[in-house]
Structure 1
Amino acid sequence: MIKHRTLFTALFGIALASGGLQASAASNSDATEGKRLFDQNCQFCHQADAIGKPGFAPSLSNPELLSLSSDKFLLSTIRDGRPGTAMMPFAHLGRTKIEQIVIYLRSLSDVPNRSKEVDAQQDAHGDPRLGKTWFDYICSTCHGKNGDGYLAGGTGTALGNKSFLAIASDGFLRETIKYGRSNTRMLGYSGSAGLANLSDREIDDVIVYMRTLAK
């Protein structure tokens, strides 16, 4: 009986291992196809390996971006685009191909996906008038006075874009302002190492003001 149980356990373990290998192989296959789709549809703007180009298209391989972004955020951005910007919708690719592009993007960074805890952060509460002061002083330099981004000649993305603000949680915005994006021009603005050492309240003021820019 013990021998049979041992044999069953061994075979069951092999089955699980095989399932894991198959899942891994499928994921690798999806990432490979996702890269092909990315190169075909996205590379022109976002450059090879999704590194982006300042003033033209953001980096999609940035570890902080991938850590903060939920799959829903990435999927909907690719599917619906960003009306009012150069980011066109790619809904015609269909869900499977868009998911493969997301899998490829995820493969470019090994940072853990923190989007669930980040999106669960409390909503920002603050004074938009104070937020405007900070935005005009700090953020508008790259993102434009009205958050128009590249269209205003800035090197940063359009923070006032309605479709972006509709899917970006306050936690997503808060973490980005606090810690920035490594290897990009988006630096952090919190703590002694931050460019302005904004307090949590001041960051929330900025977020509340940004929400008023939606257009």
Structure 2
Amino acid sequence: MSYTGLAGAANAALAKQGEQLFRQNCIFCHQEDGVGKPGLAPSLTNPELLSIASDSFFERTIHDGRVGTAMPPFAHLSKDKIQAIIAYLRSFAKRPSRAAEVDAQPAAKGDVKLGKQRFKEICSTCHGVNGEGYAAGGSGTAIGKPGFLGKVSDGFIRTTIKEGRSNTPMHGFTGSNGLANLSDREIDDIIVYLRTLNK
């Protein structure tokens, strides 16, 4: 068997272990195959997320949880077990990883006041006025809390706003097919406003 074959077999075995751990710890909220449940838990296996989220993002989120949301910490799981769960999630990937490229994007520079206005007009319907997510009764996740903002780059937020997430309520916000055709500057305004919610 070639090195590639050995690596593939090892990844498959790790993903199989991860599936069992996912069923024991995650399926109750994130549902079968990690598709999520609107109003309770986001999809973990949609192609856009898997292509831009780093292993570190998943590892820290699983380990630390998200304070103020339904996502508890799973600090009792060893690093190896968390990596197995990540390998299982990665087994759903349909696109190559762009995580390093996305995280290397420049920090957002914009106008906080304009960003706040745009957030309230465009984003708050789903994510809540202060980004509190499902707790506000919307269909969007809690993007205004430290458990999210402390783990994502501006590139991650920027790319998510632009491209959205298929098979979720989060659609893209650029181009003629976007829910709103936001410019790069308008998106950066929203990002710098979001960052103020983490303070």
- Which residue of the partner structure matches residue 59 of structure 1? 43
Q: Which protein has the larger Cα radius of gyration, Structure 1 or Structure 2?
A: 1
Deviation at 1:96, TM superposition (A): 0.3
Deviation at 1:109, TM superposition (A): 1.7
Query: Could you tell me which amino acid in structure 1 is paired with residue 30 of structure 2?
Result: H
User: SS in structure 2 opposite 1:93?
Assistant: coil
In the alignment, the residues of structure 2 paired with residue 142 and residue 57 of structure 1 have an alpha-carbon distance, to the nearest angstrom, of 14
Deviation at 1:196, TM superposition (A): 1.1
**Among 90, 93, 98, which residue is 2:74 paired with?**
90
Instruction: Return the structure number with greater helix share.
Output: 1
Query: Could you tell me which amino acid in structure 1 is paired with residue 167 of structure 2?
Result: N
2:12 aligned with 1:28, yes or no?
yes
- Which residue of the partner structure matches residue 148 of structure 1? 132
- Which residue of the partner structure matches residue 55 of structure 2? 71
Query: Could you tell me which amino acid in structure 2 is paired with residue 205 of structure 1?
Result: D
Deviation at 1:208, TM superposition (A): 0.4
Deviation at 1:19, TM superposition (A): 3.0
Using the aligned pairs only, state the percent identity: 62
Query: Could you tell me which amino acid in structure 1 is paired with residue 183 of structure 2?
Result: S
Q: For each residue in 1:69-93, what CA deviation from the matched residue of structure 2 results, as whole angstroms up to 9, or x when unmatched?
A: 0010011100111111110111111
User: SS in structure 1 opposite 2:150?
Assistant: helix
In the alignment, the residues of structure 2 paired with residue 85 and residue 214 of structure 1 have an alpha-carbon distance, to the nearest angstrom, of 15
2:181 aligned with 1:202, yes or no?
no
Moved over 6 A (4+): none
Gaps of 5+ in 1: 1-16
Q: Number of residue pairs matched?
A: 199
Gaps of 5+ in 2: none
2:114 aligned with 1:105, yes or no?
no
* C-alpha RMSD over aligned residues: 1.0
Query: Could you tell me which amino acid in structure 2 is paired with residue 24 of structure 1?
Result: G
In the alignment, the residues of structure 2 paired with residue 176 and residue 170 of structure 1 have an alpha-carbon distance, to the nearest angstrom, of 10
Q: For each residue in 1:36-78, what CA deviation from the matched residue of structure 2 results, as whole angstroms up to 9, or x when unmatched?
A: 0001100000000000011110000011001010010011100
Deviation at 1:212, TM superposition (A): 0.9
2:146 aligned with 1:162, yes or no?
yes
**TM-score, normalization: structure 2?**
0.97
Q: How does 1:95-134 map to 2 (within 5 A)?
A: 95-134=79-118
In the alignment, the residues of structure 2 paired with residue 20 and residue 200 of structure 1 have an alpha-carbon distance, to the nearest angstrom, of 40
